[in-house]
Each structure stands twice: as structure tokens, then as C-alpha cells.
């Protein structure tokens, strides 16, 4: 029972912060709300038993991309001396389209027959341990079966980093 209450708290926090992003006029406030939304999504992943995806969500989105966005917005504010504000256009049509897409997704979720999800919900309701951590299995698979794509991605990221450093160094001269 306590797990369900905590899950609903995180789900509500995630949905409310995502909704408030739509109405935030200040870009910095929207970025902070996005942090709350991403952390809530990571908490929902934990409750779903996808601990590796939850950790990846926090490290990649919250730790990397969003912090970079916030620093960019804050440095832009320092240069121009005024807050970065976004105008709002077509609130009615945006709200109508948002409610329509949400209704369509909710209908699809309710009509889907996901047996594994129902098993997890039944197991959590009865107090059973759903499953062990997925991190060791993913690590073993990544370093054995999928080593070639992993190394190719690493080399590609290294080339992109070297290229970005070269472009930045060339523009400073």
C-alpha cells in the first residue's frame, strides 16, 4: 500500500511538472521544471523494475543535457542582462491538440493487453519481490554480445569530441 502511494506521488509530480512546463514563460523556470519531470520519470522507472534505465535517465538527461541547458540559459541572461522569456501563441489550439493526443494515448494504454505489466502489478500488490536488478545482465550482454556496436559508438563519440575541440580552437584564434 505504501509503495502505491509513493508511486502515485511521483507520477503526479511528473505529470504536474510536465504540465507546468507548457505554461512557464521563463525559460529557466521551464528548465527547472524539466529537471523535476525527469527525476519523476526516473522514479517511475524504479517502480517498474527498470533500474538501469532509471540510472541512465538521471545520468544522461538530468546530469548532462539539462544542466548544459541551464548553464546556457544562465550565461545568456548574463550577456543580455534580461530574462529569457517566451511568448505564448495559440493556447486554445495547443491545449486542444494536447488533450486529444493525451486521450488517444490513454485509450491505447487502456486497450493494450500487456501481460508482463499486469504480472508486475499483481506481484507488487501481493508483496512479492518482482525481480532482481537488471544492471549485471545488461553489463554482461554489453561486454560480450554487443561489444562491437559499443566500441563503434565510443569511437564515434571520440571523433565528435575531437572535431568539436578543433572547431572551438579554430574559432578562438
pLDDT in tens, 56-70: 888 888 888 877 777
Q: What is the pLDDT of residue 84?
A: 60
Residues 55, 61: Cα–Cα separation, whole Å: 10
In which band, very low, low, confident or very high, does the pLDDT at 119 lie, cut at 50, 70 and 90? low
Residue 11 class from Cβ within 10 Å (0-12 exposed, 13-18 middle, 19+ buried)?
middle
Indicate the pTM of the whole model. 0.60
Tell me the average pLDDT across 127-156: 81
Q: What cell was used for 108?
A: 491505447
Q: Which residue has the higher pLDDT, 76 or 148?
A: 148
pLDDT in tens, 75-107: 766 555 565 666 767 778 888 998 899 899 888
Cα of first residue to Cα of last residue in the chain, in angstroms, is 63
For the stretch 59-66, contacts whose Cβ atoms lie closer than 8 Å and that sit 24 or more positions apart, written own/partner, are 62/35, 62/38, 66/31, 66/34, 66/35, 66/38
Number of Cβ atoms within 10 Å of the Cβ of 140: 10
Amino acid at each position: 500500500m505504501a509503495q502505491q502511494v509513493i508511486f502515485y506521488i511521483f507520477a503526479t509530480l511528473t505529470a504536474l511538472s510536465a504540465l507546468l512546463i507548457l505554461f512557464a514563460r521563463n525559460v529557466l523556470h521551464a528548465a527547472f521544471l524539466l529537471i523535476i519531470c525527469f527525476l519523476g520519470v526516473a522514479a517511475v522507472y524504479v517502480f517498474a523494475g527498470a533500474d538501469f534505465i532509471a540510472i541512465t535517465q538521471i545520468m544522461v538527461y538530468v546530469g548532462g543535457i539539462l544542466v548544459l541547458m541551464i548553464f546556457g540559459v544562465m550565461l545568456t541572461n548574463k550577456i543580455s542582462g534580461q530574462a529569457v522569456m517566451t511568448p505564448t501563441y495559440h493556447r486554445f489550439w495547443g491545449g486542444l491538440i494536447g488533450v486529444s493526443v493525451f486521450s488517444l494515448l490513454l485509450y491505447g494504454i487502456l486497450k493494450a493487453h500487456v501481460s508482463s505489466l499486469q504480472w508486475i502489478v499483481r506481484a507488487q500488490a501481493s508483496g512479492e519481490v518482482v525481480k532482481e536488478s537488471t544492471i549485471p545482465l545488461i553489463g554482461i550482454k554489453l561486454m560480450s554480445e554487443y561489444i562491437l556496436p559499443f566500441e563503434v559508438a565510443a569511437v564515434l563519440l571520440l571523433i565528435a569530441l575531437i572535431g568539436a575541440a578543433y572547431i572551438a580552437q579554430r574559432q578562438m584564434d
